[in-house]
A = this chain, B = another copy of it.
Amino acid sequence: MTLSRRAAIANGMAVLAMAPGLARAATDARALHKKLICMDTHLDMPANLARPGWNVMDRHDVDLDFTQVDYPRMVEGGLDGGFFSIYTPQAPVTPEGMSAMRDAAFLRAAEIREMVVAHPQQFELAFVPEDAARIAAKGKIIVFQSIENSGILGNDVTLLRSFYKLGVRMAGPIHFLNNQLGDSATDKKQWGGLSPLGKDFVKEANDLGIVLDASHSSDDVFDQMMDLSRTAIICSHSGCRAIHDHPRNLDDARIKRLAAAGSTIQINSYNEYLVTVPPNPDRDKARRAAFGKMRNLGSMPPDQAAAAMRAVAAEMKAVDKQYPIPRADFEEYMKHVMHALDLVGPDHVGVGADWDGGGGVTGMNDVTSIPKITERLVKAGYTEAQLSNFWSGNALRVLGKAHEARRQA
Protein backbone atom coordinates (compact mmCIF):
# COMPACT_ATOMS: atom_id res chain seq x y z
CA MET A 1 0.00 0.00 0.00
CA THR A 2 2.69 2.43 1.04
CA LEU A 3 4.62 1.91 -2.15
CA SER A 4 1.66 2.21 -4.44
CA ARG A 5 0.54 5.34 -2.62
CA ARG A 6 3.97 6.89 -3.02
CA ALA A 7 3.92 5.96 -6.68
CA ALA A 8 0.52 7.57 -6.99
CA ILE A 9 1.77 10.72 -5.32
CA ALA A 10 4.66 10.85 -7.75
CA ASN A 11 2.09 10.42 -10.48
CA GLY A 12 0.08 13.28 -9.03
CA MET A 13 3.17 15.45 -9.10
CA ALA A 14 3.62 14.66 -12.78
CA VAL A 15 0.00 15.58 -13.44
CA LEU A 16 0.63 18.90 -11.74
CA ALA A 17 2.55 19.95 -14.83
CA MET A 18 -0.48 19.65 -17.09
CA ALA A 19 -3.41 21.60 -15.82
CA PRO A 20 -6.23 20.15 -17.98
CA GLY A 21 -5.44 16.63 -16.79
CA LEU A 22 -5.34 17.82 -13.21
CA ALA A 23 -8.70 19.50 -13.58
CA ARG A 24 -10.20 16.32 -14.99
CA ALA A 25 -8.70 14.26 -12.15
CA ALA A 26 -10.16 16.67 -9.63
CA THR A 27 -13.57 16.45 -11.29
CA ASP A 28 -13.39 12.68 -11.29
CA ALA A 29 -12.42 12.62 -7.62
CA ARG A 30 -15.34 14.90 -6.78
CA ALA A 31 -17.72 12.71 -8.73
CA LEU A 32 -16.37 9.71 -6.84
CA HIS A 33 -16.74 11.57 -3.55
CA LYS A 34 -20.40 12.25 -4.26
CA LYS A 35 -20.91 8.61 -5.17
CA LEU A 36 -19.38 7.26 -1.95
CA ILE A 37 -21.27 7.05 1.32
CA CYS A 38 -19.28 9.52 3.39
CA MET A 39 -19.68 9.56 7.14
CA ASP A 40 -17.96 11.46 9.92
CA THR A 41 -17.87 9.57 13.20
CA HIS A 42 -17.95 12.60 15.46
CA LEU A 43 -20.34 15.39 14.63
CA ASP A 44 -20.89 17.92 17.39
CA MET A 45 -23.54 19.77 15.44
CA PRO A 46 -26.34 18.72 17.84
CA ALA A 47 -24.97 21.29 20.28
CA ASN A 48 -26.33 23.94 17.90
CA LEU A 49 -29.83 22.51 17.60
CA ALA A 50 -31.14 24.32 20.66
CA ARG A 51 -29.64 27.66 19.67
CA PRO A 52 -32.50 30.08 19.05
CA GLY A 53 -32.41 31.37 15.52
CA TRP A 54 -30.21 28.51 14.31
CA ASN A 55 -31.90 26.14 11.89
CA VAL A 56 -30.16 23.05 10.57
CA MET A 57 -31.91 23.58 7.23
CA ASP A 58 -30.29 26.99 6.69
CA ARG A 59 -26.88 27.44 5.18
CA HIS A 60 -24.58 29.04 7.75
CA ASP A 61 -21.15 30.55 7.43
CA VAL A 62 -18.42 29.39 9.81
CA ASP A 63 -16.89 32.87 9.69
CA LEU A 64 -20.11 34.44 10.87
CA ASP A 65 -21.38 32.02 13.51
CA PHE A 66 -18.65 29.36 14.03
CA THR A 67 -20.88 26.49 12.85
CA GLN A 68 -19.48 23.95 10.43
CA VAL A 69 -22.33 21.55 9.74
CA ASP A 70 -25.87 22.05 8.48
CA TYR A 71 -28.02 20.33 5.90
CA PRO A 72 -27.11 22.50 2.90
CA ARG A 73 -23.41 22.25 3.65
CA MET A 74 -23.60 18.50 4.20
CA VAL A 75 -25.18 18.15 0.78
CA GLU A 76 -22.59 20.45 -0.78
CA GLY A 77 -19.73 18.59 0.88
CA GLY A 78 -21.13 15.18 0.08
CA LEU A 79 -21.23 14.27 3.76
CA ASP A 80 -23.95 11.66 3.95
CA GLY A 81 -24.14 11.53 7.73
CA GLY A 82 -22.37 9.92 10.61
CA PHE A 83 -22.50 9.81 14.35
CA PHE A 84 -24.31 12.81 15.82
CA SER A 85 -22.93 13.34 19.26
CA ILE A 86 -24.75 13.75 22.54
CA TYR A 87 -21.96 15.77 24.08
CA THR A 88 -22.05 16.96 27.67
CA PRO A 89 -19.28 19.04 29.25
CA GLN A 90 -17.80 17.43 32.35
CA ALA A 91 -19.38 18.84 35.51
CA PRO A 92 -17.97 18.21 38.99
CA VAL A 93 -18.20 14.49 39.82
CA THR A 94 -20.80 15.05 42.55
CA PRO A 95 -24.39 13.80 42.76
CA GLU A 96 -25.64 17.22 41.64
CA GLY A 97 -23.07 17.55 38.87
CA MET A 98 -23.71 14.09 37.53
CA SER A 99 -27.47 14.44 37.56
CA ALA A 100 -27.28 17.79 35.79
CA MET A 101 -25.13 16.19 33.09
CA ARG A 102 -27.55 13.30 32.74
CA ASP A 103 -30.55 15.61 32.43
CA ALA A 104 -28.80 17.70 29.78
CA ALA A 105 -27.83 14.58 27.84
CA PHE A 106 -31.40 13.30 27.67
CA LEU A 107 -32.52 16.65 26.33
CA ARG A 108 -29.73 16.64 23.74
CA ALA A 109 -30.73 13.12 22.70
CA ALA A 110 -34.30 14.33 22.27
CA GLU A 111 -33.11 17.25 20.17
CA ILE A 112 -31.26 14.97 17.76
CA ARG A 113 -34.30 12.76 17.28
CA GLU A 114 -36.50 15.82 16.90
CA MET A 115 -34.24 17.22 14.20
CA VAL A 116 -34.89 14.02 12.26
CA VAL A 117 -38.64 14.10 12.89
CA ALA A 118 -38.84 17.76 11.91
CA HIS A 119 -37.14 17.07 8.56
CA PRO A 120 -38.20 13.58 7.53
CA GLN A 121 -37.26 14.09 3.89
CA GLN A 122 -33.72 15.16 4.78
CA PHE A 123 -32.67 13.06 7.78
CA GLU A 124 -33.29 9.54 9.02
CA LEU A 125 -32.24 7.75 12.21
CA ALA A 126 -29.88 4.81 11.75
CA PHE A 127 -29.41 1.92 14.17
CA VAL A 128 -27.65 -0.89 12.32
CA PRO A 129 -24.92 -0.81 9.65
CA GLU A 130 -27.35 -1.72 6.86
CA ASP A 131 -29.35 1.42 7.56
CA ALA A 132 -26.56 3.57 6.14
CA ALA A 133 -26.84 2.44 2.52
CA ARG A 134 -30.62 2.28 2.70
CA ILE A 135 -30.88 5.86 3.97
CA ALA A 136 -28.22 7.21 1.63
CA ALA A 137 -30.04 5.61 -1.31
CA LYS A 138 -33.03 7.78 -0.45
CA GLY A 139 -30.80 10.83 -0.59
CA LYS A 140 -31.18 11.44 3.13
CA ILE A 141 -28.63 12.12 5.85
CA ILE A 142 -27.72 9.06 7.95
CA VAL A 143 -28.15 9.90 11.63
CA PHE A 144 -26.39 7.52 13.98
CA GLN A 145 -26.23 8.73 17.57
CA SER A 146 -23.26 8.65 19.94
CA ILE A 147 -22.40 9.79 23.44
CA GLU A 148 -19.37 11.93 24.12
CA ASN A 149 -18.73 11.74 27.83
CA SER A 150 -20.56 8.88 29.51
CA GLY A 151 -20.07 10.68 32.79
CA ILE A 152 -23.74 11.48 32.14
CA LEU A 153 -24.58 7.99 33.39
CA GLY A 154 -23.75 8.96 36.96
CA ASN A 155 -23.23 5.89 39.11
CA ASP A 156 -25.67 3.75 37.15
CA VAL A 157 -24.16 2.48 33.93
CA THR A 158 -27.38 0.60 33.13
CA LEU A 159 -28.73 4.02 32.15
CA LEU A 160 -26.83 3.40 28.93
CA ARG A 161 -29.74 1.10 28.05
CA SER A 162 -32.12 4.05 27.92
CA PHE A 163 -29.82 5.78 25.49
CA TYR A 164 -29.48 2.60 23.46
CA LYS A 165 -33.26 2.46 23.25
CA LEU A 166 -33.25 6.03 21.97
CA GLY A 167 -30.78 4.94 19.31
CA VAL A 168 -27.27 5.50 20.67
CA ARG A 169 -24.76 3.11 19.10
CA MET A 170 -21.38 4.52 20.16
CA ALA A 171 -20.18 5.91 23.49
CA GLY A 172 -16.95 7.29 24.87
CA PRO A 173 -16.50 7.10 28.63
CA ILE A 174 -14.65 10.35 29.20
CA HIS A 175 -14.08 13.88 27.87
CA PHE A 176 -11.47 16.54 28.72
CA LEU A 177 -11.48 15.75 32.44
CA ASN A 178 -11.37 12.59 34.50
CA ASN A 179 -14.72 11.33 35.71
CA GLN A 180 -16.16 8.44 37.68
CA LEU A 181 -15.49 6.06 34.78
CA GLY A 182 -11.80 6.71 34.34
CA ASP A 183 -8.96 8.95 33.26
CA SER A 184 -8.97 11.50 30.49
CA ALA A 185 -6.16 11.88 27.95
CA THR A 186 -5.96 15.52 29.01
CA ASP A 187 -6.13 15.27 32.79
CA LYS A 188 -3.84 14.00 35.54
CA LYS A 189 -3.65 10.28 36.25
CA GLN A 190 -6.31 9.47 38.85
CA TRP A 191 -7.61 5.93 38.38
CA GLY A 192 -4.71 4.61 36.36
CA GLY A 193 -7.17 3.80 33.59
CA LEU A 194 -10.76 2.72 34.03
CA SER A 195 -12.38 2.92 37.45
CA PRO A 196 -14.27 -0.16 38.66
CA LEU A 197 -17.44 1.57 37.43
CA GLY A 198 -15.69 2.23 34.12
CA LYS A 199 -15.17 -1.52 33.75
CA ASP A 200 -18.89 -2.05 34.33
CA PHE A 201 -19.49 0.55 31.66
CA VAL A 202 -17.40 -1.44 29.17
CA LYS A 203 -19.43 -4.55 29.90
CA GLU A 204 -22.72 -2.69 29.63
CA ALA A 205 -21.75 -1.19 26.26
CA ASN A 206 -20.63 -4.62 25.04
CA ASP A 207 -23.84 -6.24 26.22
CA LEU A 208 -25.92 -3.67 24.36
CA GLY A 209 -23.88 -3.63 21.17
CA ILE A 210 -22.74 -0.05 21.64
CA VAL A 211 -19.29 0.68 20.13
CA LEU A 212 -16.80 1.85 22.75
CA ASP A 213 -15.06 5.04 21.70
CA ALA A 214 -11.59 5.65 23.16
CA SER A 215 -11.15 9.19 21.85
CA HIS A 216 -10.47 11.45 24.86
CA SER A 217 -9.53 8.44 26.99
CA SER A 218 -6.08 8.16 28.53
CA ASP A 219 -3.70 5.61 27.06
CA ASP A 220 -4.36 3.39 30.06
CA VAL A 221 -8.09 3.53 29.45
CA PHE A 222 -7.50 2.75 25.78
CA ASP A 223 -5.41 -0.27 26.72
CA GLN A 224 -7.86 -1.51 29.33
CA MET A 225 -10.85 -1.08 27.03
CA MET A 226 -8.95 -3.07 24.37
CA ASP A 227 -8.27 -5.76 26.96
CA LEU A 228 -11.76 -5.90 28.40
CA SER A 229 -14.01 -5.34 25.42
CA ARG A 230 -15.47 -8.41 23.75
CA THR A 231 -15.49 -6.52 20.45
CA ALA A 232 -13.46 -3.90 18.60
CA ILE A 233 -13.41 -0.41 20.09
CA ILE A 234 -13.03 2.73 17.95
CA CYS A 235 -11.32 6.10 18.12
CA SER A 236 -14.00 8.31 16.66
CA HIS A 237 -11.91 11.50 16.50
CA SER A 238 -8.18 11.20 17.19
CA GLY A 239 -4.90 11.87 15.43
CA CYS A 240 -1.46 10.31 15.16
CA ARG A 241 1.04 10.98 17.94
CA ALA A 242 3.88 10.17 15.54
CA ILE A 243 2.92 13.26 13.55
CA HIS A 244 2.11 15.52 16.47
CA ASP A 245 2.86 14.56 20.04
CA HIS A 246 -0.35 15.26 21.92
CA PRO A 247 -2.07 12.99 24.46
CA ARG A 248 -5.29 13.15 22.39
CA ASN A 249 -3.45 11.45 19.54
CA LEU A 250 -2.63 7.75 19.31
CA ASP A 251 0.87 6.36 19.09
CA ASP A 252 1.67 3.93 16.30
CA ALA A 253 1.53 0.88 18.52
CA ARG A 254 -2.02 1.67 19.60
CA ILE A 255 -3.13 2.49 16.06
CA LYS A 256 -1.77 -0.90 15.01
CA ARG A 257 -3.52 -2.59 17.89
CA LEU A 258 -6.78 -0.93 16.90
CA ALA A 259 -6.33 -2.13 13.32
CA ALA A 260 -5.37 -5.63 14.39
CA ALA A 261 -8.65 -5.81 16.28
CA GLY A 262 -10.46 -4.93 13.06
CA SER A 263 -11.15 -1.34 13.98
CA THR A 264 -10.34 2.14 12.74
CA ILE A 265 -8.87 5.46 13.78
CA GLN A 266 -10.98 8.36 12.56
CA ILE A 267 -8.75 11.35 12.02
CA ASN A 268 -9.47 14.57 13.88
CA SER A 269 -8.93 18.11 12.56
CA TYR A 270 -8.78 19.82 15.98
CA ASN A 271 -6.09 22.47 15.75
CA GLU A 272 -4.44 21.89 19.12
CA TYR A 273 -3.93 18.18 18.29
CA LEU A 274 -2.24 19.05 15.01
CA VAL A 275 0.15 21.88 15.89
CA THR A 276 1.78 23.14 19.07
CA VAL A 277 -0.08 26.07 20.52
CA PRO A 278 1.96 27.85 23.20
CA PRO A 279 0.08 28.90 26.36
CA ASN A 280 -1.40 32.37 26.05
CA PRO A 281 -3.35 33.47 29.14
CA ASP A 282 -4.27 36.85 27.65
CA ARG A 283 -5.80 35.19 24.62
CA ASP A 284 -7.62 32.66 26.81
CA LYS A 285 -9.03 35.44 28.93
CA ALA A 286 -10.21 37.40 25.90
CA ARG A 287 -11.83 34.28 24.44
CA ARG A 288 -13.58 33.50 27.70
CA ALA A 289 -14.94 37.03 27.80
CA ALA A 290 -16.29 36.69 24.27
CA PHE A 291 -17.74 33.23 24.90
CA GLY A 292 -19.33 34.49 28.09
CA LYS A 293 -21.65 36.56 25.95
CA MET A 294 -23.20 33.37 24.62
CA ARG A 295 -24.43 32.39 28.06
CA ASN A 296 -27.92 33.85 27.78
CA LEU A 297 -28.43 32.91 24.16
CA GLY A 298 -30.98 30.24 25.03
CA SER A 299 -33.44 32.71 26.48
CA MET A 300 -33.16 35.25 23.66
CA PRO A 301 -35.64 35.59 20.81
CA PRO A 302 -34.25 34.00 17.62
CA ASP A 303 -33.24 37.23 15.84
CA GLN A 304 -31.49 38.61 18.90
CA ALA A 305 -29.71 35.30 19.53
CA ALA A 306 -28.49 35.11 15.95
CA ALA A 307 -27.23 38.68 16.16
CA ALA A 308 -25.50 37.95 19.47
CA MET A 309 -23.87 34.92 17.88
CA ARG A 310 -22.55 36.99 14.99
CA ALA A 311 -21.24 39.59 17.44
CA VAL A 312 -19.39 36.91 19.41
CA ALA A 313 -17.98 35.44 16.19
CA ALA A 314 -16.70 38.89 15.18
CA GLU A 315 -15.18 39.40 18.62
CA MET A 316 -13.48 36.01 18.42
CA LYS A 317 -11.99 36.95 15.08
CA ALA A 318 -10.65 40.13 16.65
CA VAL A 319 -9.16 38.05 19.48
CA ASP A 320 -7.50 35.78 16.91
CA LYS A 321 -6.05 38.84 15.22
CA GLN A 322 -4.82 40.38 18.48
CA TYR A 323 -3.41 37.10 19.83
CA PRO A 324 -2.60 34.96 16.81
CA ILE A 325 -1.79 31.29 17.36
CA PRO A 326 -0.28 28.69 15.07
CA ARG A 327 -3.01 27.31 12.78
CA ALA A 328 -2.88 23.89 11.23
CA ASP A 329 -3.72 23.76 7.56
CA PHE A 330 -5.14 21.07 5.34
CA GLU A 331 -1.65 19.70 4.70
CA GLU A 332 -1.12 19.15 8.38
CA TYR A 333 -4.45 17.38 8.64
CA MET A 334 -3.59 15.16 5.72
CA LYS A 335 -0.26 14.24 7.31
CA HIS A 336 -2.21 12.46 10.04
CA VAL A 337 -4.52 10.79 7.53
CA MET A 338 -1.60 9.66 5.38
CA HIS A 339 0.45 8.46 8.32
CA ALA A 340 -2.39 6.30 9.58
CA LEU A 341 -3.04 4.98 6.08
CA ASP A 342 0.62 4.14 5.61
CA LEU A 343 0.70 2.44 8.98
CA VAL A 344 -2.43 0.30 8.88
CA GLY A 345 -4.00 0.71 5.45
CA PRO A 346 -7.36 2.03 4.24
CA ASP A 347 -9.46 -0.54 6.05
CA HIS A 348 -8.51 0.96 9.41
CA VAL A 349 -8.67 4.73 8.93
CA GLY A 350 -11.49 7.21 8.47
CA VAL A 351 -12.67 10.70 9.32
CA GLY A 352 -13.93 12.13 12.58
CA ALA A 353 -13.02 15.77 12.14
CA ASP A 354 -14.72 17.16 15.26
CA TRP A 355 -16.94 19.53 13.31
CA ASP A 356 -18.64 21.98 15.65
CA GLY A 357 -16.52 20.58 18.45
CA GLY A 358 -13.35 22.52 17.76
CA GLY A 359 -12.34 20.90 14.47
CA GLY A 360 -11.41 22.64 11.26
CA VAL A 361 -8.12 23.70 9.72
CA THR A 362 -7.08 26.42 7.31
CA GLY A 363 -8.32 25.23 3.94
CA MET A 364 -10.88 22.83 5.41
CA ASN A 365 -13.00 24.68 7.89
CA ASP A 366 -16.44 23.25 7.37
CA VAL A 367 -17.96 20.13 5.86
CA THR A 368 -18.12 21.63 2.38
CA SER A 369 -14.35 21.06 2.11
CA ILE A 370 -14.22 17.34 2.74
CA PRO A 371 -14.13 16.42 -0.98
CA LYS A 372 -10.54 17.67 -0.81
CA ILE A 373 -9.71 14.62 1.29
CA THR A 374 -11.09 12.30 -1.37
CA GLU A 375 -9.25 14.21 -4.09
CA ARG A 376 -6.00 13.81 -2.24
CA LEU A 377 -6.57 10.12 -1.61
CA VAL A 378 -7.49 9.48 -5.24
CA LYS A 379 -4.29 11.20 -6.20
CA ALA A 380 -2.51 8.94 -3.72
CA GLY A 381 -3.84 6.00 -5.64
CA TYR A 382 -6.56 4.71 -3.38
CA THR A 383 -9.29 2.81 -5.14
CA GLU A 384 -13.02 3.36 -4.98
CA ALA A 385 -13.45 0.28 -2.80
CA GLN A 386 -10.76 1.47 -0.43
CA LEU A 387 -12.25 4.94 -0.24
CA SER A 388 -15.65 3.45 0.39
CA ASN A 389 -14.26 1.74 3.46
CA PHE A 390 -12.33 4.84 4.52
CA TRP A 391 -15.44 7.02 4.32
CA SER A 392 -17.92 4.69 6.00
CA GLY A 393 -17.28 0.99 5.56
CA ASN A 394 -14.73 0.81 8.35
CA ALA A 395 -16.88 2.47 10.98
CA LEU A 396 -19.92 0.46 9.91
CA ARG A 397 -17.88 -2.73 10.13
CA VAL A 398 -16.96 -1.91 13.74
CA LEU A 399 -20.61 -1.18 14.50
CA GLY A 400 -21.61 -4.50 12.96
CA LYS A 401 -19.05 -6.33 15.07
CA ALA A 402 -20.36 -4.69 18.23
CA HIS A 403 -23.90 -5.64 17.27
CA GLU A 404 -22.90 -9.25 16.70
CA ALA A 405 -21.01 -9.43 19.99
CA ARG A 406 -23.89 -8.04 22.06
CA ARG A 407 -25.53 -10.16 24.69
CA GLN A 408 -28.50 -11.84 23.07
CA ALA A 409 -31.55 -10.97 25.15
Contacts and interface: CB of A to CB of B under 8 A. Distances in A.
Interface of A: 95, 99-100, 102-104, 106-107, 109-110, 113-114, 117-118, 120, 154, 156, 158-159, 161-162, 164-166
A162 B103 contact: yes
B166 A107 contact: yes
Contacts of A165: 103-104, 106-107
A346 B207 CA distance: 54
A108 to B, nearest CB: 10
Contacts of A113: 110, 113-114
A102 B158 CA distance: 10
Contacts of A154: 156
B106 A166 contact: yes
A99 B166 contact: no
Contact of A106 (B100, B104, B106, B158): B106
Contacts of A162: 102-103, 106-107
14 contacts: A99-B161, A100-B161, A103-B162, A103-B164, A103-B165, A106-B165, A107-B165, A107-B166, A110-B113, A113-B114, A114-B114, A117-B117, A117-B118, A156-B156
Contacts of A158: 95, 99
Contacts of A159: 102
Given A102-B161, A114-B114, A154-B156, 11 more contacts: A95-B158, A99-B158, A102-B159, A102-B162, A103-B164, A106-B165, A107-B165, A109-B110, A110-B110, A117-B117, A118-B118
A111 B95 CA distance: 28
Contacts of A114: 113-114, 117
A106 B159 CA distance: 10
Cβ-closest 7 pairs across A and B = A103-B165, A106-B162, A114-B117, A117-B117, A103-B162, A99-B158, A103-B161
A80 B117 CA distance: 23
Contacts of A118: 117-118, 120
A107 to B, nearest CB: 5
Contacts of A156: 154, 156
A59 B354 CA distance: 45
Contacts of A164: 103
A276 B99 CA distance: 46
A242 to B, nearest CB: 42
Contacts of A161: 99-100, 102-103
Contact of A166 (B100, B110, B117, B120): B110
A154 B154 CA distance: 14
Contacts of A106: 106, 162, 165-166
Contacts of A99: 158, 161
A118 B113 CA distance: 11
